[in-house]
Amino acid sequence: MKRNKSYLILKAIREAKKILINVHPHADLDSISSALAFKKVIEQIDSKKKILIVSPEVIKEDFSFLGEEVKNIKVINFSSFDFSSFDLFLILDASSDDRVTGSKKIFLPKSIKKIVVDHHLNNRIVADIKLINEEACATCEILFKLFSDWQIKIDRYLATLILAGMVGDTVFFRYFSDVKNQWKMVEKLLALGADFDLIKKNFFSYSFSFVKFLGEFLRRLKIDEGRVNDKKTKFAWAAMSFTDYQQFGLLSTGQSFVADLFLAAIKEVDFGFLILEKEKNKLSLSFRSKEEINVAEIAQRLGGGGHKNAAGATVEGEFEKMVEEILKVVKSS
């Protein structure tokens, strides 16, 4: 842990009276677990602190197993929310303003002090303190090291939250970046009482509509050719319009689930991506690749970002036209 930044973050938390913590749009286990864990730790440091976890979207019922605190996450409109009574904003697991606010047209307020803790490549958020570790498998991994540095007492619930975040972003330990050390962290969290069975039960639990949604995305997959850094490549891709998406009940995590489990596993391709029109004229992209292909560079050309082998982006426009534009970018990367 970078000791100086660790001290500065702790100092800022001690000095703040009212603190905001974010959950990013299209929330996942790492985002929600990071926010809940940090709130619990701040309360342990000073129970008098006023802390509010905010999100631009309603949190899905799927995450309720993380505890009653999930229900207290407040949905806000970042363009009209009054930040004036808060003196610190902890921004977790987000690499750009829109990954906090939910819109490329809404930016973070300049008036409030901001601390960013993140593990994505090329974090673009302007903040007073930034703790970025691109080698971490999840933001929860960074927090585990940070809390240990602060000598925080990590109980069963806090250990479960941290492990859940690591499980979510590694697809149940499939994508470790530092295998030896990250398995040691898992061992420590289990020794601290992390509820592995609770996480496993809820991670591998799907509705029938979810399974049908996965099947439909897999049915649409096709293989195409392009170039990445002047090297000829093959990629798998599929797209689903908002009209088709509505038939499955607007599921929140199906797209990333298909991307995580299948795209990089297809023998014949180097990488893959899925396009899902989650809102009318708002397309979400999920990229996954084999080790040698950096899909974060492709995502950045589309206004997004992420990790070398797992990245994403959001583009706006008419569905069919934007699918064509995305394919042009991907083929010429």
Q: Last residue of some domain: 151, 168, 187?
A: 151
Residue 58 within any structural domain of the chain: yes
212 SS3 class: helix
Q: Distance (Å, rounded) from C-alpha 43 to C-alpha 39?
A: 6
Q: Last residue of some domain: 127, 151, 175?
A: 151
pLDDT tens digits, 246-280: 998 877 677 888 898 899 899 999 999 999 999 99
Determine the average pLDDT of the residues in 275-292.
93
Query: Range with the lowest mean pLDDT among 103-117, 237-251, 270-284?
Result: 237-251
pLDDT tens digits, 42-101: 999 999 999 999 999 999 888 999 999 999 999 999 999 999 999 999 999 999 999 999
Q: Are residues 214 and 147 in the same domain?
A: no
> Could you give the angle at the alpha carbon of 16 between the alpha carbons of 160 and 6, nearest 5°?
55
pLDDT for residue 316: 94
State the pairing for strand pair 310-316/282-289. antiparallel
Q: Distance (Å, rounded) from C-alpha 140 to C-alpha 33?
A: 7
What does pLDDT average to over the chain?
94
Return the percentage of the chain with pLDDT > 90, whole number.
85
Please return the burial class of 219, using the count of CB atoms within 10 Å of its CB with bins 0-12, 13-18 and 19+.
exposed
Alpha helix locations (H) across 251-310? 254-262, 295-301
Q: How sure is the predictor about 227, in pLDDT bands with cuts at 50, 70 and 90?
A: confident
CATH number at residue 256: 3.10.310.30
Q: Which domain holds residue 14?
A: 3-151
**Residues making up the chain, counted from first to last:** 333
Determine the average pLDDT of the residues in 19-25.
97
Count of domains observed in the chain: 2
Residue 163 within any structural domain of the chain: no
Determine the average pLDDT of the residues in 103-121.
95
pLDDT tens digits, 159-180: 999 999 999 999 999 888 889 9
pLDDT for residue 128: 97
pLDDT for residue 1: 63
Instruction: Please report the DSSP string for 119-136 in residue order.
Output: -SSS-----SEEEE-TT-
Q: Are residues 46 and 133 in the same domain?
A: yes
